Amino acid sequence: MMIRLALLSEYDSSRFDSDKSRWMNACARLRGVQITAAAASWPELESNHPDRFDAVILSAPPLRRPELAATIARARKHLLIEGLPVETSGDFEPLGKLFVQHGLRLMIGESLRYDPGVMSVKSALDTARLGRPALLRTHAWLSSDQVGDSHRQLLQQLDLAAWIYQTLPTEVYALRHGKRSDLRQVHLGFPESSMAIITLSESLPPGDRYHSYTLIGTTGAAYADDHRQMQLLFQGGSPKAKRTGMGILREVEELREFLAAIDEKRLPTISGSAVEQSLLLADAVRQSIDLRQPLQLQGGRYVPFA
């Protein structure tokens, strides 16, 4: 079965062209899919290409995502959205139900689960080469001009931890410190004395972000980072970090999962409960920072220790 995709990119013309190029290249690497329409607004897409697509890839600013996602669901189209459409678990539930109600697939993109390095670590875990996960240590570094992206980065790290351990942590403790409160550290306690420690820094000089992951298991360990893709450019003044990139590997893997979910009539791996989990954890992190104390999981929500 051929899946016809429409690209809806509500950014400027440069970003639109970039989005179109990378997703068309991703489609070219897979069978049974093609982009048959592209537009910079939903009215344009709906009026010019009403019957030319079965699913939508949405690339839009955060504030536009909730309305557009709901509109696409009401139009009876599957949706792969780059980034979370909402910021709280309570807001996601009705949106997720809208897609389920119409028998549609909603998948959240831009996940670290499809980072090539992370996929290699998870593969080692799934094939029993590492034993049971005992400690996940992640670092995410952002520059000061990417502070607006820090919430998305935190959600990605939290989703990664819950995915590795296949459950929610039983304890959450988070701190925010540094000269400009630009460093966040999160400790997640999981069953059987296992844990995840997440560091998110916003103090890099201008340039691209980068990350690293270490997973220590009961019988082995694995490490991944994107440092090999980072180059320091010296052009006078402070050096700038520039990523040489990993091509469109993430887009290809996300698209592969999205198409499989449509074809097999199942939920994508990053939808529904997975999204609600990461949003619930983000809420707990904010609460822990505000209260300056750890929280524990009780009855499906995080509360301060008694």
Question: Residue range 6-15: average pLDDT?
Answer: 93
CB 114, CB 250: distance < 8 Å: yes
pLDDT at 141 (0 to 100): 84
What is the sign, positive or negative, of the torsion defined by CA atoms of 285, 286, 292, 296? negative
Shared domain check, 118 and 50: no
Tell me the C-alpha distance between 201 and 5, whole Å: 37
Q: What is the pLDDT of residues 94-153, one digit of tens each?
A: 999 999 999 999 999 988 898 888 888 899 999 999 999 999 999 988 876 655 567 888
Residue 130 sits in the same domain as residue 212: yes
Number of structural domains in the chain: 2
Is residue 230 a part of any domain in this protein? yes
Q: Does residue 168 lie in a domain region?
A: yes
**Which tokens is 210 given?**
């980068």
| Residue 139 CB contacts under 8 Å (≥ 6 apart), including other chains | 199, 201, 211, 212, 213
Looking at residue 290, what is its pLDDT? 95
Q: How many residues does the chain have?
A: 306
Establish if 266 belongs to a structural domain: no
**pTM, rounded to two decimals:** 0.86
Nearest-angstrom CA–CA distance, 219 and 213: 17
Cα–Cα distance measured from residue 214 to residue 193, given in angstroms and rounded to the nearest whole number: 17
Q: Which residue in the block uniquely carries the two structure tokens 């890099």?
A: 204
Note whether 80 and 117 are same-domain residues. no
Longest dimension (CA), the chain: 59
Domain of residue 16: give its range.
3-104
* Across 31-60, average pLDDT: 94
Higher pLDDT, residue 212 or 266:
266
The more confident residue out of 225 and 252 is 252
Burial of 36 (0-12, 13-18, 19+ CB in 10 A): middle
Q: Are residues 120 and 218 in the same domain?
A: yes
Query: What is the reported pLDDT for 65?
Result: 92
pLDDT at 68 over 90: yes
